[in-house]
Chains A and B, each alone.
Chain A
């Protein structure tokens, strides 16, 4: 068992917390911590599950950020603002 083999997506979690500005980023950090917590006690399967969760939260957070951006763009176009 190598500790390195399970990614915890911590960097991505911090990025979405800072840029997408949503609680999902915090949820992703929680999962990132879970990955390393579980690896430290040798729970490899638990770590893999937490890793998948972390990845999921990062993606959803990014999607939410992009959705807001597109929504803002459409509202801007409709209201005729520049």
Chain B
């Protein structure tokens, strides 16, 4: 059951409302990238702190995402990976899904249609929760996962 099941789909809708959404998403990504490039979240007051961190003093799976993206935009792949490895691993999938969405919005046909088996999503959930717990363990090698 762990194979990805491909489902073909015929697209014959009239006007595609996804175009406006795609334009908006693209605009947000560009604006966020420019901001993140010029203002380092590690030293700037521009960004709010993580509410989870403020309330509990613990790290969450999203901690280090903005700092990692800042480092990534400056080409520091290793530093970015050290700040939030899970984010960096998931990034190619997020970019892939963004591209797929864009192609579908513009041409009306998607690059791929993948049905992700439920098992894989449950596994992802376990990974996220394990990551959440483990990166709070304050000694080596777990502390490496902390931002």
List A residues at the B interface (Cβ < 8 Å). 2-4, 8, 10-11, 14-15, 17-23, 25-26, 29-30, 32-34, 36-37, 39-40, 64, 68-69, 71-73, 76, 81-82
Contacts and interface: CB of A to CB of B under 8 A. Distances in A.
Say which size band chain B's interface belongs to.
20 to 34
B139 to A, nearest CB: 24
Interface stretch (B12-20, B44-52, B72-80): B44-52
B127 to A, nearest CB: 10
B48 A32 contact: no
B60 interface: yes
A75 to B, nearest CB: 9
Interface in B56-109: 60-63, 65, 84, 86-87, 90, 93-94, 97
B31 to A, nearest CB: 14
Contacts, number: 85
A47 to B, nearest CB: 10
A68 B48 contact: yes
Nearest to B61: A17
B45 A21 contact: no
B9 A33 contact: no
Nearest 7 CB-CB pairings of A with B: A72-B48, A21-B62, A33-B121, A37-B118, A36-B118, A21-B50, A18-B62
Given A26-B128, A36-B116, A19 B51 contact: no
